[in-house]
Amino acid sequence: MSTEQRVMVGGRRPLSEAARAGAAKPEETPEPPAKKKSKKLVLIIGVVVLLAAAAAAWFLFLKPAPADAAEHEPEPVVLGAVMPVDSVSLNLANGRYLRLGIALQLSAEAGAHGELDTARALDQAIALFSGRDIAEVSDPAVRDQLVSDLAHQLSETYHGEVVDVYLTEYVTQ
């Protein structure tokens, strides 16, 4: 009698004829139920409706009213007298000079405290304009910015009594 020897690779047992026939046919997987798709759709619609309701509630109840914004606007300043300040010659860079004259636009409340001391205004103007290059002070945009900066500084110094600054004399040499 002859003996048949089989070599097994990887520790697998050989398949029988019935198993080989069954392995050739792929197993049919059941189709996913339609209920899962409808549940996802209902969930997505629910989330969208919730977000829309939250947005509507915020716009109707939590959004600040426009009347609140009007309360925070500063009241318009009532203008008072214009007070001229003595002209002064300032040293610029490179041996040049600037003849500067200013006038202060006061608020209506500024006259209630008596005469305004213009020495502080003149001191701040000298500090701001002195030592600058002639090309810098000759440029209209820079000049306007310097006047705006001076007006802001004087408003803080005089506690809001100075509203604006006007140039009455501005000559470079």
Q: Is residue 15 part of a domain?
A: no
The answer to whether residue 164 scores a pLDDT higher than 80 is yes
> Bigger pLDDT: 16 or 41?
41
CATH code of residue 133: 3.30.479.30
Q: Is residue 63 part of a domain?
A: no
Q: Is residue 42 part of a domain?
A: no
The answer to whether 119 and 83 are in contact (CB under 8 A) is no
Residues 65-88 pLDDT 10s: 665 555 666 677 788 888 899 999
Averaged pLDDT of the chain: 80
Domain housing 117:
79-172
Residue 164: name the closest of 76, 82, 88 by CA.
82
Q: Determine what percent of the chain is predicted with pLDDT higher than 70.
A: 70
Residue 14 corresponds to which tokens in the numbers above? Answer: 């050989």
The total number of structural domains in the chain stands at 1
Residue 135 corresponds to which tokens in the numbers above? Answer: 């090309």
Q: Is residue 64 part of a domain?
A: no
The answer to whether 91 and 130 are in contact (CB under 8 A) is yes
The answer to whether residue 25 scores a pLDDT higher than 60 is no
- The whole-model pTM stands at 0.56
Q: Is residue 112 part of a domain?
A: yes
